[in-house]
Chain A
């Protein structure tokens, strides 16, 4: 599709994103996969953009992983989600900011169900009242965290210390974006730019100076898919899905992959190591992989946060080549030092994938 066609399509899918006062709900798995990412979102929102974002340690899983693996029944999921809404209501907030793509999809699915079946909402309210004594209001605005950074992309770009540009050639970095399946594939109008060519990451990357590269399997699932990896013997399916994407994007020589889902960056990062070990194949230049970043990590990098504070040392695919290309200053000696200055341990080096 040419850029004019995309722009026409994007105009049809514009959603309202609240401007301030968010109740933030974290992802279950991101904090163990890439612990710095959510922290960066909060820092950017509070310190760089001066917004009011609160969270509640009593917030639990939305049960999305259990729901999509057919372990948790939908009515249980709805009641757990109702409790999250109750926490927001009790905090006096109306705007709900979601870190996880699957949670975002699940909230959209549940609210759509309640809209068409008010009797189910009534029953869930009764369930929640009976189980916890809580009541809730439905959020006035639900936005994914990447929607919010998209909304403030111009402000972030203005404050940016680094651009997504090759420092030596002046050419924009070649970026492939990968949107989590549950962001807009179920409800295209809930996502910025719809489901076919979502604009949410394109807008952020372009505002920061990068160039988005289209490739044939752009919409293909990363392979996360819950059932694909929960049972070990099925993980070959997850791995094969990711390989379809890598094989498809490789000829376009991307500098980095930009994602907005908890699972996608993790699997697209780690599977490059597994494919290297299994088939001796790597997808970056000179035996390196293609680095995978989340939107907060990339925004924080451009804003000048230290790469090791962002948590880029937890990535399997080494980010240093891109950092050098962008001209980001970093101290390699501090890569594996924790916030207290003590060594956090170094991972074993892969046999095939080149890491630093």
Chain B
């Protein structure tokens, strides 16, 4: 095959009517401040764990809001709960608690 130097990308359209938002509802019930997040990424920029892995709370909240459950399954357990993101968040989101309930949602996914 000819080496073009670029390739086709798979279609990544998300159908919000088909995606299950059970994880978002569960986290919101336990930590309502998740709704205050404006995806600024300040949490992710100061994250200690992110220096060594792909952990990004901004991205995880985005994926939870879109119902893309598979995207956060592994990542969410890489958080060490140091709480730097809690101090950084300009919106006062209880970020550490959000991650805790994300982990609980992943563990109890079949019961949601």
Interface residues on A, range: 10 to 19
Checking A232, A234, A278 against B8 with a beta-carbon cut-off of 8 angstroms, the contacting residue is A278
Q: Mark B1-13, 1 if CB is under 8 A from A, else 0.
A: 1101111110100
Smallest CB separation, B58 vs chain A (Å) = 22
Residues of chain A within 8 A (CB-CB) of B6 are: 232-236, 239
Smallest CB separation, B32 vs chain A (Å) = 37
Smallest CB separation, A240 vs chain B (Å) = 4
Contact A239 B5 (CB under 8 A): no
Number of A-B contacts (CB under 8 A): 31
**A274 interface contact, C-beta 8 A:** yes
Contact B11 A278 (CB under 8 A): no
Closest Cβ neighbor of A244 among chain B residues: B11
Interface residues on B, range: under 10
Checking A237, A239, A277 against B2 with a beta-carbon cut-off of 8 angstroms, the contacting residue is A277
Checking A232, A235, A236, A278 against B1 with a beta-carbon cut-off of 8 angstroms, the contacting residue is A278
B interface secondary structure, majority: loop
Given A277-B1, A277-B2, A278-B1, verify A239-B11 contact (CB < 8 Å): no
Contact A275 B8 (CB under 8 A): yes
Contact A240 B8 (CB under 8 A): yes
Smallest CB separation, A165 vs chain B (Å) = 35
Closest Cβ neighbor of A237 among chain B residues: B9
How far, in whole Å, are A235 and B6 apart by their CA atoms in the complex? Answer: 6
Which among A237, A243, A244, A278 has the greatest number of chain B C-beta atoms within 10 A? A278
Contact A232 B5 (CB under 8 A): yes
Q: A232-B6, A243-B8 are in contact. List 18 more A-B contacts (CB 8 A).
A: A232-B5, A234-B6, A235-B4, A235-B6, A236-B6, A236-B9, A237-B9, A239-B7, A240-B9, A240-B11, A244-B11, A275-B8, A277-B1, A277-B2, A277-B4, A278-B1, A278-B4, A278-B8
Binding site for B on A (CB under 8 A): 232-237, 239-240, 243-244, 274-275, 277-279
Instruction: Name 17 interchain pairs, CB-CB below 8 A, sorted by A.
Output: A233-B6, A234-B6, A235-B4, A236-B8, A236-B9, A239-B6, A239-B8, A240-B8, A243-B8, A274-B4, A275-B8, A277-B1, A277-B2, A277-B4, A278-B1, A278-B7, A278-B8
